[in-house]
Structure 1
Amino acid sequence: MPNPSALQRAWSRIEPWLADNAPADHASLRPPANATDIHRLESALEIHTIHPDVIELLKTHDGADDRYPTVYQPGAGRFIPSRYRFLSTHEICERANGMNRQLAEDDPDSTMVGYYWHPRWVPIAQETTTCLLFIDHRPGPTYGAVGELIEGDHAYLAKWPSLAELLTRIADSIEHDAPLGRYTPQPTGGRGVSNQRRIC
Protein backbone atom coordinates (compact mmCIF):
# COMPACT_ATOMS: atom_id res chain seq x y z
CA MET A 1 0.00 0.00 0.00
CA PRO A 2 1.50 3.39 -0.98
CA ASN A 3 2.54 5.80 1.75
CA PRO A 4 -0.05 8.50 2.44
CA SER A 5 0.63 11.88 0.87
CA ALA A 6 1.17 15.05 2.89
CA LEU A 7 -2.42 16.06 2.10
CA GLN A 8 -3.77 12.70 3.31
CA ARG A 9 -1.69 12.90 6.48
CA ALA A 10 -3.08 16.36 7.22
CA TRP A 11 -6.68 15.21 6.67
CA SER A 12 -6.09 12.23 8.98
CA ARG A 13 -5.34 14.76 11.72
CA ILE A 14 -8.09 17.27 10.89
CA GLU A 15 -11.07 14.92 10.64
CA PRO A 16 -10.77 13.25 14.08
CA TRP A 17 -10.32 16.68 15.69
CA LEU A 18 -13.46 17.98 13.95
CA ALA A 19 -15.43 14.89 14.97
CA ASP A 20 -14.45 15.37 18.63
CA ASN A 21 -14.49 19.15 18.90
CA ALA A 22 -16.69 20.51 16.09
CA PRO A 23 -19.15 17.75 15.09
CA ALA A 24 -21.25 20.13 12.98
CA ASP A 25 -18.19 20.95 10.87
CA HIS A 26 -17.39 17.25 10.59
CA ALA A 27 -20.96 16.44 9.56
CA SER A 28 -20.83 19.12 6.86
CA LEU A 29 -18.10 17.26 4.95
CA ARG A 30 -19.59 15.75 1.82
CA PRO A 31 -18.90 12.23 0.49
CA PRO A 32 -15.99 11.83 -1.94
CA ALA A 33 -16.37 12.97 -5.53
CA ASN A 34 -16.36 10.15 -8.06
CA ALA A 35 -14.42 9.87 -11.30
CA THR A 36 -17.38 11.14 -13.33
CA ASP A 37 -17.66 14.28 -11.17
CA ILE A 38 -13.96 15.04 -11.62
CA HIS A 39 -13.95 14.33 -15.36
CA ARG A 40 -16.97 16.61 -15.80
CA LEU A 41 -15.18 19.34 -13.85
CA GLU A 42 -12.00 19.05 -15.93
CA SER A 43 -14.02 19.21 -19.16
CA ALA A 44 -16.04 22.20 -18.02
CA LEU A 45 -12.96 24.16 -16.92
CA GLU A 46 -11.05 23.33 -20.12
CA ILE A 47 -8.01 22.48 -18.02
CA HIS A 48 -6.59 19.23 -19.31
CA THR A 49 -5.19 18.15 -15.95
CA ILE A 50 -6.36 19.54 -12.63
CA HIS A 51 -3.62 19.73 -10.02
CA PRO A 52 -3.22 16.41 -8.13
CA ASP A 53 -3.84 18.14 -4.77
CA VAL A 54 -7.27 19.31 -5.96
CA ILE A 55 -8.12 15.83 -7.24
CA GLU A 56 -7.01 14.31 -3.95
CA LEU A 57 -9.02 16.84 -1.95
CA LEU A 58 -12.18 16.11 -3.96
CA LYS A 59 -11.66 12.35 -3.72
CA THR A 60 -11.51 12.74 0.05
CA HIS A 61 -14.55 15.02 0.34
CA ASP A 62 -16.51 16.73 -2.41
CA GLY A 63 -16.52 20.00 -0.50
CA ALA A 64 -18.52 20.86 2.60
CA ASP A 65 -22.14 21.88 3.02
CA ASP A 66 -22.88 25.33 4.44
CA ARG A 67 -25.01 24.11 7.34
CA TYR A 68 -27.23 26.16 9.65
CA PRO A 69 -26.26 29.65 8.41
CA THR A 70 -28.05 32.65 9.90
CA VAL A 71 -27.85 36.37 9.27
CA TYR A 72 -25.45 36.81 12.19
CA GLN A 73 -23.56 33.50 12.25
CA PRO A 74 -22.09 31.65 9.24
CA GLY A 75 -22.98 27.99 9.09
CA ALA A 76 -20.85 25.01 9.97
CA GLY A 77 -18.36 23.83 7.37
CA ARG A 78 -16.30 27.03 7.53
CA PHE A 79 -13.28 25.80 9.48
CA ILE A 80 -10.67 27.29 7.13
CA PRO A 81 -9.24 30.60 8.44
CA SER A 82 -11.38 33.63 7.51
CA ARG A 83 -14.50 31.40 7.46
CA TYR A 84 -13.76 29.75 4.14
CA ARG A 85 -15.67 26.60 3.15
CA PHE A 86 -14.40 23.98 0.68
CA LEU A 87 -16.45 23.90 -2.53
CA SER A 88 -17.92 20.87 -4.28
CA THR A 89 -17.08 19.96 -7.88
CA HIS A 90 -20.35 21.54 -8.98
CA GLU A 91 -19.66 24.75 -7.04
CA ILE A 92 -16.07 24.95 -8.33
CA CYS A 93 -17.40 24.80 -11.88
CA GLU A 94 -20.04 27.45 -11.17
CA ARG A 95 -17.61 29.86 -9.48
CA ALA A 96 -14.89 29.43 -12.11
CA ASN A 97 -17.25 29.86 -15.05
CA GLY A 98 -18.87 32.87 -13.37
CA MET A 99 -15.50 34.56 -12.80
CA ASN A 100 -14.37 33.75 -16.35
CA ARG A 101 -17.55 35.32 -17.78
CA GLN A 102 -17.12 38.38 -15.57
CA LEU A 103 -13.49 38.72 -16.67
CA ALA A 104 -14.46 38.54 -20.34
CA GLU A 105 -17.19 41.17 -19.89
CA ASP A 106 -15.19 43.59 -17.71
CA ASP A 107 -11.80 43.18 -19.39
CA PRO A 108 -12.25 42.69 -23.14
CA ASP A 109 -8.64 43.76 -23.78
CA SER A 110 -7.26 41.18 -21.29
CA THR A 111 -5.29 43.81 -19.40
CA MET A 112 -6.46 42.48 -16.02
CA VAL A 113 -5.79 38.77 -16.59
CA GLY A 114 -3.75 37.49 -13.66
CA TYR A 115 -4.75 40.40 -11.46
CA TYR A 116 -8.55 40.57 -11.56
CA TRP A 117 -8.86 36.85 -12.37
CA HIS A 118 -7.21 34.20 -14.52
CA PRO A 119 -8.86 31.30 -16.40
CA ARG A 120 -6.24 28.95 -14.93
CA TRP A 121 -7.15 29.76 -11.34
CA VAL A 122 -9.37 26.99 -9.93
CA PRO A 123 -11.46 28.06 -6.92
CA ILE A 124 -11.51 25.57 -4.03
CA ALA A 125 -13.12 27.54 -1.18
CA GLN A 126 -15.37 30.54 -0.67
CA GLU A 127 -15.81 32.91 2.24
CA THR A 128 -19.21 34.19 3.41
CA THR A 129 -18.99 36.91 0.73
CA THR A 130 -17.44 36.37 -2.72
CA CYS A 131 -13.82 36.06 -1.56
CA LEU A 132 -12.19 32.93 -2.96
CA LEU A 133 -9.25 30.64 -2.31
CA PHE A 134 -7.98 29.09 -5.52
CA ILE A 135 -5.23 26.83 -6.84
CA ASP A 136 -2.98 28.44 -9.42
CA HIS A 137 -2.70 26.25 -12.54
CA ARG A 138 -0.43 28.53 -14.53
CA PRO A 139 2.91 26.96 -15.49
CA GLY A 140 5.81 28.28 -13.48
CA PRO A 141 6.83 28.81 -9.86
CA THR A 142 3.27 29.48 -8.61
CA TYR A 143 1.84 26.24 -10.06
CA GLY A 144 -0.10 24.50 -7.29
CA ALA A 145 0.03 27.47 -4.90
CA VAL A 146 -3.03 28.60 -2.94
CA GLY A 147 -4.03 32.16 -3.78
CA GLU A 148 -6.72 34.42 -2.34
CA LEU A 149 -9.02 36.80 -4.18
CA ILE A 150 -10.40 39.50 -1.88
CA GLU A 151 -13.83 40.95 -2.64
CA GLY A 152 -13.56 44.51 -3.91
CA ASP A 153 -9.77 44.27 -4.25
CA HIS A 154 -9.25 41.69 -6.98
CA ALA A 155 -5.55 41.38 -6.37
CA TYR A 156 -3.70 38.08 -6.44
CA LEU A 157 -2.43 37.21 -2.98
CA ALA A 158 -0.20 34.14 -2.62
CA LYS A 159 -1.20 32.52 0.67
CA TRP A 160 0.38 29.06 0.84
CA PRO A 161 2.80 27.22 -1.48
CA SER A 162 0.43 24.25 -1.78
CA LEU A 163 -2.93 22.90 -0.67
CA ALA A 164 -1.12 20.22 1.34
CA GLU A 165 0.73 22.98 3.20
CA LEU A 166 -2.54 24.79 3.98
CA LEU A 167 -4.11 21.63 5.41
CA THR A 168 -0.98 20.83 7.40
CA ARG A 169 -1.02 24.33 8.88
CA ILE A 170 -4.71 23.94 9.79
CA ALA A 171 -3.96 20.59 11.46
CA ASP A 172 -1.10 22.14 13.46
CA SER A 173 -3.30 25.06 14.48
CA ILE A 174 -6.29 23.05 15.72
CA GLU A 175 -4.20 20.43 17.50
CA HIS A 176 -2.06 22.94 19.39
CA ASP A 177 -4.49 25.88 19.73
CA ALA A 178 -1.97 27.94 17.79
CA PRO A 179 -2.63 30.92 15.53
CA LEU A 180 -2.67 30.44 11.79
CA GLY A 181 -1.83 33.88 10.52
CA ARG A 182 -4.16 36.23 12.37
CA TYR A 183 -6.67 33.50 13.29
CA THR A 184 -6.93 30.76 15.90
CA PRO A 185 -9.67 28.09 15.45
CA GLN A 186 -11.97 27.86 18.47
CA PRO A 187 -14.74 25.21 18.90
CA THR A 188 -18.16 26.81 19.40
CA GLY A 189 -20.12 24.30 21.43
CA GLY A 190 -20.44 21.68 18.72
CA ARG A 191 -21.89 24.02 16.11
CA GLY A 192 -18.63 24.56 14.30
CA VAL A 193 -15.22 26.19 14.43
CA SER A 194 -15.08 29.95 14.85
CA ASN A 195 -11.82 31.37 13.51
CA GLN A 196 -11.16 34.00 16.14
CA ARG A 197 -9.04 36.93 15.01
CA ARG A 198 -5.97 37.72 17.05
CA ILE A 199 -4.71 41.29 16.89
CA CYS A 200 -1.05 41.30 15.79
Structure 2
Amino acid sequence: MRLLTRNAPACHARLNPPADPAALRRAEQETGRPLPEGLAAWWRAADGVSPTRPTVGETPFRLFPYGCDPYPVAEALTRRKQYLRSLRDTVPPPLADALEGWLARCGQDRAGTYYPHDATPLWLPQWLPVAGDGLGGGLFVDLRAGDQYGCVVRHGTMSHGPKPSWPDIETLLAHVADTLEELGGDGDHRR
Protein backbone atom coordinates (compact mmCIF):
# COMPACT_ATOMS: atom_id res chain seq x y z
CA MET A 1 0.00 0.00 0.00
CA ARG A 2 2.98 2.32 0.53
CA LEU A 3 3.84 2.19 -3.19
CA LEU A 4 0.26 3.12 -3.99
CA THR A 5 0.30 5.98 -1.48
CA ARG A 6 3.59 7.32 -2.82
CA ASN A 7 3.25 6.68 -6.57
CA ALA A 8 -0.49 6.78 -7.24
CA PRO A 9 -2.08 8.89 -4.49
CA ALA A 10 -5.32 9.52 -6.42
CA CYS A 11 -5.82 5.76 -6.79
CA HIS A 12 -4.90 5.19 -3.15
CA ALA A 13 -7.58 7.68 -2.15
CA ARG A 14 -10.15 5.51 -3.98
CA LEU A 15 -9.34 2.37 -1.95
CA ASN A 16 -12.25 1.20 0.16
CA PRO A 17 -11.76 0.14 3.77
CA PRO A 18 -11.19 -3.58 4.44
CA ALA A 19 -14.04 -5.93 3.58
CA ASP A 20 -16.29 -7.14 6.35
CA PRO A 21 -15.44 -10.79 7.22
CA ALA A 22 -19.13 -11.60 6.69
CA ALA A 23 -18.78 -10.47 3.05
CA LEU A 24 -15.92 -12.92 2.52
CA ARG A 25 -17.98 -15.74 4.04
CA ARG A 26 -20.91 -14.76 1.79
CA ALA A 27 -18.62 -14.96 -1.27
CA GLU A 28 -17.59 -18.48 -0.29
CA GLN A 29 -21.19 -19.49 0.34
CA GLU A 30 -22.48 -18.10 -2.95
CA THR A 31 -19.70 -19.62 -5.05
CA GLY A 32 -19.63 -22.86 -3.07
CA ARG A 33 -15.83 -22.63 -3.05
CA PRO A 34 -13.20 -21.28 -0.64
CA LEU A 35 -11.60 -18.02 -1.69
CA PRO A 36 -7.94 -18.21 -2.62
CA GLU A 37 -5.90 -16.86 0.28
CA GLY A 38 -4.38 -14.08 -1.84
CA LEU A 39 -7.80 -12.81 -2.89
CA ALA A 40 -9.13 -13.00 0.67
CA ALA A 41 -6.02 -11.14 1.90
CA TRP A 42 -6.52 -8.43 -0.74
CA TRP A 43 -10.14 -7.93 0.27
CA ARG A 44 -9.15 -7.93 3.97
CA ALA A 45 -6.74 -5.09 3.15
CA ALA A 46 -9.05 -3.12 0.82
CA ASP A 47 -12.56 -3.93 -0.36
CA GLY A 48 -11.82 -2.90 -3.94
CA VAL A 49 -11.95 0.72 -5.02
CA SER A 50 -14.72 3.26 -5.23
CA PRO A 51 -15.83 4.09 -8.77
CA THR A 52 -14.34 7.06 -10.55
CA ARG A 53 -16.11 9.48 -12.82
CA PRO A 54 -13.56 10.85 -15.30
CA THR A 55 -14.03 14.25 -16.80
CA VAL A 56 -14.31 14.61 -20.57
CA GLY A 57 -11.04 13.66 -22.22
CA GLU A 58 -9.55 12.23 -19.01
CA THR A 59 -8.34 8.65 -18.79
CA PRO A 60 -8.33 7.68 -15.12
CA PHE A 61 -5.48 5.64 -13.68
CA ARG A 62 -6.71 2.08 -13.20
CA LEU A 63 -5.09 -0.03 -10.52
CA PHE A 64 -5.06 -3.35 -12.41
CA PRO A 65 -3.89 -4.11 -15.96
CA TYR A 66 -6.23 -3.95 -18.95
CA GLY A 67 -7.81 -0.77 -17.60
CA CYS A 68 -9.43 -2.63 -14.68
CA ASP A 69 -10.24 -1.59 -11.16
CA PRO A 70 -10.72 -4.17 -8.41
CA TYR A 71 -14.29 -4.82 -7.30
CA PRO A 72 -15.54 -4.73 -3.74
CA VAL A 73 -16.79 -8.16 -2.63
CA ALA A 74 -20.46 -7.18 -3.00
CA GLU A 75 -19.86 -5.90 -6.55
CA ALA A 76 -18.00 -9.12 -7.49
CA LEU A 77 -20.97 -11.19 -6.32
CA THR A 78 -23.47 -8.93 -8.08
CA ARG A 79 -21.52 -9.15 -11.36
CA ARG A 80 -21.26 -12.94 -11.07
CA LYS A 81 -25.03 -13.20 -10.64
CA GLN A 82 -25.61 -10.88 -13.61
CA TYR A 83 -23.32 -12.89 -15.87
CA LEU A 84 -24.98 -16.17 -14.90
CA ARG A 85 -28.50 -14.72 -15.23
CA SER A 86 -27.67 -13.21 -18.61
CA LEU A 87 -26.34 -16.54 -19.82
CA ARG A 88 -29.41 -18.43 -18.69
CA ASP A 89 -31.82 -15.75 -19.98
CA THR A 90 -30.38 -15.90 -23.50
CA VAL A 91 -30.62 -19.68 -23.91
CA PRO A 92 -33.83 -20.84 -25.62
CA PRO A 93 -35.99 -22.91 -23.22
CA PRO A 94 -35.54 -26.15 -25.20
CA LEU A 95 -31.77 -25.87 -24.66
CA ALA A 96 -31.89 -25.00 -20.95
CA ASP A 97 -31.25 -28.59 -19.82
CA ALA A 98 -28.33 -28.92 -22.24
CA LEU A 99 -26.85 -25.67 -20.88
CA GLU A 100 -27.17 -26.87 -17.28
CA GLY A 101 -25.46 -30.13 -18.26
CA TRP A 102 -22.68 -28.20 -19.97
CA LEU A 103 -22.21 -25.98 -16.90
CA ALA A 104 -22.09 -29.01 -14.62
CA ARG A 105 -19.56 -30.78 -16.88
CA CYS A 106 -17.33 -27.71 -17.19
CA GLY A 107 -17.60 -27.09 -13.46
CA GLN A 108 -15.88 -30.45 -12.92
CA ASP A 109 -12.96 -29.54 -15.19
CA ARG A 110 -9.73 -28.38 -13.62
CA ALA A 111 -9.10 -24.68 -13.06
CA GLY A 112 -7.39 -23.19 -16.08
CA THR A 113 -9.44 -25.26 -18.56
CA TYR A 114 -11.15 -23.05 -21.15
CA TYR A 115 -13.35 -23.70 -24.13
CA PRO A 116 -12.32 -21.64 -27.14
CA HIS A 117 -14.28 -23.75 -29.62
CA ASP A 118 -17.60 -23.93 -27.75
CA ALA A 119 -20.25 -21.37 -28.58
CA THR A 120 -21.44 -21.17 -24.98
CA PRO A 121 -21.27 -20.44 -22.13
CA LEU A 122 -19.78 -17.10 -21.46
CA TRP A 123 -19.65 -17.70 -17.71
CA LEU A 124 -19.27 -20.60 -15.26
CA PRO A 125 -20.61 -20.55 -11.70
CA GLN A 126 -17.06 -21.21 -10.42
CA TRP A 127 -15.71 -18.00 -11.95
CA LEU A 128 -15.69 -14.96 -9.69
CA PRO A 129 -15.16 -11.54 -11.28
CA VAL A 130 -12.62 -9.54 -9.29
CA ALA A 131 -12.06 -6.44 -11.44
CA GLY A 132 -13.82 -4.55 -14.22
CA ASP A 133 -12.85 -2.25 -17.04
CA GLY A 134 -16.11 -0.28 -17.03
CA LEU A 135 -17.04 -1.68 -20.45
CA GLY A 136 -18.31 -5.13 -19.45
CA GLY A 137 -14.93 -6.83 -19.39
CA GLY A 138 -12.44 -7.44 -16.65
CA LEU A 139 -10.68 -10.13 -14.69
CA PHE A 140 -12.03 -13.23 -12.98
CA VAL A 141 -10.60 -15.83 -10.63
CA ASP A 142 -11.18 -19.48 -11.52
CA LEU A 143 -12.37 -21.28 -8.37
CA ARG A 144 -12.50 -24.77 -9.86
CA ALA A 145 -10.24 -27.37 -8.26
CA GLY A 146 -6.80 -28.16 -9.64
CA ASP A 147 -3.27 -26.86 -9.64
CA GLN A 148 -4.39 -23.61 -11.28
CA TYR A 149 -7.04 -22.94 -8.62
CA GLY A 150 -7.24 -19.19 -8.14
CA CYS A 151 -5.69 -18.26 -11.49
CA VAL A 152 -6.69 -14.86 -12.90
CA VAL A 153 -8.21 -14.70 -16.39
CA ARG A 154 -9.09 -11.73 -18.57
CA HIS A 155 -12.60 -11.64 -20.01
CA GLY A 156 -14.48 -9.41 -22.42
CA THR A 157 -18.14 -9.00 -23.20
CA MET A 158 -18.21 -11.93 -25.62
CA SER A 159 -15.41 -14.26 -24.51
CA HIS A 160 -12.61 -14.92 -22.08
CA GLY A 161 -8.91 -15.39 -22.46
CA PRO A 162 -7.67 -18.75 -23.79
CA LYS A 163 -5.39 -19.13 -20.76
CA PRO A 164 -4.81 -17.47 -17.39
CA SER A 165 -3.11 -14.09 -17.40
CA TRP A 166 -1.64 -14.70 -13.93
CA PRO A 167 -1.38 -17.89 -11.86
CA ASP A 168 -2.92 -16.16 -8.82
CA ILE A 169 -3.86 -12.80 -7.29
CA GLU A 170 -0.47 -12.55 -5.59
CA THR A 171 1.30 -12.57 -8.95
CA LEU A 172 -1.13 -9.98 -10.33
CA LEU A 173 -0.50 -7.76 -7.29
CA ALA A 174 3.28 -8.18 -7.72
CA HIS A 175 2.83 -7.01 -11.33
CA VAL A 176 0.86 -3.99 -10.07
CA ALA A 177 3.61 -3.24 -7.51
CA ASP A 178 6.26 -3.39 -10.25
CA THR A 179 4.20 -1.00 -12.37
CA LEU A 180 3.80 1.39 -9.44
CA GLU A 181 7.54 1.23 -8.77
CA GLU A 182 8.19 2.21 -12.41
CA LEU A 183 5.84 5.18 -12.06
CA GLY A 184 8.08 6.73 -9.47
CA GLY A 185 6.59 9.86 -7.97
CA ASP A 186 4.14 10.62 -10.78
CA GLY A 187 1.04 8.52 -10.12
CA ASP A 188 -0.95 10.07 -12.94
CA HIS A 189 0.77 8.20 -15.80
CA ARG A 190 -1.58 6.49 -18.19
CA ARG A 191 -1.36 2.87 -19.27
Length-normalised TM-score, structure 2: 0.77
Aligned-pair CA distance for 1:46: 3.5
Find the counterpart in structure 2 of residue 36 from structure 1. Answer: 22
Greater percentage in helix: 2
Find the counterpart in structure 2 of residue 54 from structure 1. Answer: 39
Find the counterpart in structure 2 of residue 17 from structure 1. Answer: 3
Query: What residue identity is the alignment partner of 1:170?
Result: V
Task: From 68, 86, 107, give the equivalent of 2:53.
Answer: 68
Aligned-pair CA distance for 1:187: 2.8
Q: Is the 8 A contact 1:74 1:128 kept in 2?
A: no
Aligned-pair CA distance for 1:120: 0.2
Query: What residue identity is the alignment partner of 2:76?
Result: I
Give unpaired runs (5+ residues) of structure 1.
1-14, 179-185, 196-200
What per-residue deviation string (whole Å, max 9, x for no partner) do you get for residues 147-192 of structure 1? Answer: 11122334544100111011112212321359xxxxxxx732xxxx
Aligned-pair CA distance for 1:48: 3.8
Find the counterpart in structure 1 of residue 147 from structure 2. Answer: 141
Query: Any residues of structure 2 matched to 1:1-200 within 5 Å, and which?
Result: 15-43=1-29, 45-75=30-60, 78-107=62-91, 108=96, 109-110=98-99, 111=102, 115=115, 116-176=122-182, 187-188=187-188, 193-195=189-191
Give unpaired runs (5+ residues) of structure 2.
107-113, 116-121
Length-normalised TM-score, structure 1: 0.74
Query: What residue identity is the alignment partner of 1:81?
Result: P
Aligned-pair CA distance for 1:81: 1.5
Give me the CA root mean square deviation: 2.3
Aligned length: 168
What per-residue deviation string (whole Å, max 9, x for no partner) do you get for residues 64-118 of structure 1? Answer: 0122323543545x22122100000110110011111122223432257654211
Query: What residue identity is the alignment partner of 2:136?
Result: T
Distance 1:123 1:29, change over 3 A: same
Q: Which moved more, 1:32-41 or 1:158-167?
A: 32-41
Distance 1:55 1:24, change over 3 A: same
Find the counterpart in structure 1 of residue 118 from structure 2. Answer: none
Distance 1:71 1:121 in 2: 34
Greater percentage in strand: 1
Aligned-pair CA distance for 1:133: 0.4
